[in-house]
A and B are shown apart, each in its own frame.
Chain A
Amino acid sequence: MIADFGFFALLMAFLLALYACAAAAFGSWSGQQRWVSSARSATILSFPLLTLACGSLVYSLANLDFHLQYVTQVTSHSMPMYLRVTALWGGQAGSLLFWAWLMAAFTFAVMLREWRRDRDLEPWVIIVTAGTLAFFLALILFFENPFLRYWQGVTGTVWAALWQPAGAQPYIPMDGNGLNPLLRHPGMIIHPPMLYIGFVAFVVPFAFAIGALVTGRSDDRWIRVTRRWTLVAWLFLSLGLILGSRWAYDVLGWGGYWGWDPVEIAAFMPWLTGTAFLHSVMIQEKRGMFKHWNMLLIILTYCLVIFGTFLTRSGVLSSVHAFAQSAIGPMFFGFIAVTFAVSLALLNKRWATLKSEVEMTSLLSREALFLVNNLLFMGILVICFWGVVFPIVSEASGGIGRAIPALAHIFTGQRATVGPIFYESATGPLWAALLLLMGIAPLSAWRASTARTLGRAMWKPFIISLLALAALLAGGMRQPLALLALWICAFVFLVTAYEFLRGARARTSRGETPLQAFWRLVARNRRRYGGYIIHIGVILIAVGIIGIELFQQETQGSLAVGERMHLGSYSIEYESLAEFETPDGRLVDRAVVNVFKDGQPLTQLYPRRDFYYESQQAMTIPGLRSTLEDDVYILLVDWEPVSASSATFKMYVNPLVNWIWLGGFVFIFGTLVASWPDAELQPARSRARVRGTAERA
Chain B
Amino acid sequence: MRLLAFAVAAVLLLAACAGSPAALNSALQGTPSADQVNAVAKNLYCPVCANVPLDVCGTAACAQWRGQIADLLADGYSEQQVYDYFAAHYGQGVLAVPPARGLNWLVYLLPPAVILGAALLLGRNLRRWQQAAPSAAKPSKDDEYTRQLEEELKARR
Contacts and interface: CB of A to CB of B under 8 A. Distances in A.
A359 B107 contact: no
B98 A394 contact: yes
Interface string B142-153: 111110110011
Contact of B35 (A286, A379, A506, A555): A555
A422 B136 contact: no
B59 to A, nearest CB: 8
A556 B130 contact: no
Interface in A323-382: 357-363, 366, 368, 371-372, 375, 378-379, 382
B27 interface: no
A558 B34 CA distance: 9
A372 B50 CA distance: 36
Contacts of B133: 359
Interface size class of A (residues with CB under 8 A): 35 or more
A375 B155 contact: no
Interface stretch (A103-111, A128-136, A409-417, A590-598): A409-417
Interface in A395-423: 397, 409-412, 414-422
A678 interface: no
Interface secondary structure of A, over-half rule: mixed
B42 to A, nearest CB: 9
Contacts of A696: 141, 144-145, 148
Contact of A693 (B63, B94, B148): B148
Contacts of B110: 382, 386
A506 B155 CA distance: 9
A445 B144 CA distance: 10
A390 B45 CA distance: 16
B93 A417 contact: yes
A693 B152 contact: yes
Given A254-B56, A286-B140, A447-B137, A379 B43 contact: no
B118 A509 contact: no
Interface in B83-116: 91-98, 102-104, 106-107, 110-111, 114-115
Contact of B53 (A368, A390, A419): A419
Contact of A502 (B118, B130, B149): B149
B149 A414 contact: no
A618 interface: yes
A318 interface: yes
A6 B155 CA distance: 68
A542 B148 CA distance: 33
A410 B103 contact: yes
B2 interface: no
A363 B130 contact: yes
B103 A412 contact: yes
A383 B56 CA distance: 25
Contact of B130 (A255, A360, A555): A360
A393 B106 CA distance: 10
Given A358-B137, A446-B140, A390 B106 contact: yes
A402 B143 CA distance: 62
A412 to B, nearest CB: 6
B111 A382 contact: yes
Contact of A554 (B38, B96, B107): B38
Interface in B18-61: 33-35, 38, 43, 45, 50-51, 53, 55-56, 58
Contact of A416 (B92, B111, B129): B92
B103 A397 contact: yes
Contacts of A446: 137, 140, 142-143
B119 interface: yes
B34 to A, nearest CB: 4
A661 to B, nearest CB: 21
Nearest to B57: A254
Contacts of A382: 110-111, 114-115
B152 A506 contact: yes
B126 A360 contact: yes
B132 interface: yes
Nearest to B153: A506
A414 B153 contact: no
Contacts of B34: 555-558, 648
Contacts of B98: 390, 394, 416-418
B103 A255 contact: no
B135 interface: yes
A161 B142 CA distance: 61
A170 interface: no
Contacts of B141: 286, 686, 696
Contacts of A412: 92, 102-103
Contacts of A638: 63
A412 B130 CA distance: 49
Contact of A375 (B56, B122, B143): B122
A692 B148 contact: yes
Contacts of B153: 502, 505-506
A436 interface: no
B103 A445 contact: no
B56 A253 contact: yes
A358 B138 contact: yes
B103 A359 contact: no
B52 to A, nearest CB: 8
A412 B104 CA distance: 10
Contacts of B63: 638
A26 B118 CA distance: 41
B51 A414 contact: no
B150 to A, nearest CB: 9
A633 to B, nearest CB: 12
A585 interface: no
Contact of B58 (A360, A410, A503, A618): A618
A375 B129 CA distance: 17
Interface in A420-458: 420-422, 426, 430, 445-447
30 contacts: A252-B56, A253-B58, A286-B140, A286-B142, A317-B51, A359-B129, A359-B130, A360-B126, A360-B132, A361-B134, A371-B122, A375-B115, A378-B115, A409-B102, A411-B103, A416-B93, A416-B104, A417-B45, A417-B51, A418-B98, A421-B96, A421-B97, A446-B140, A502-B153, A506-B153, A525-B145, A556-B35, A557-B33, A693-B149, A697-B145
Given A382-B110, A447-B140, A506-B149, 4 more contacts: A358-B136, A379-B118, A505-B153, A554-B38
The 3 A-B residue pairs with the shortest CB-CB distance in the complex, in nearest-first order? A360-B129, A419-B96, A254-B56
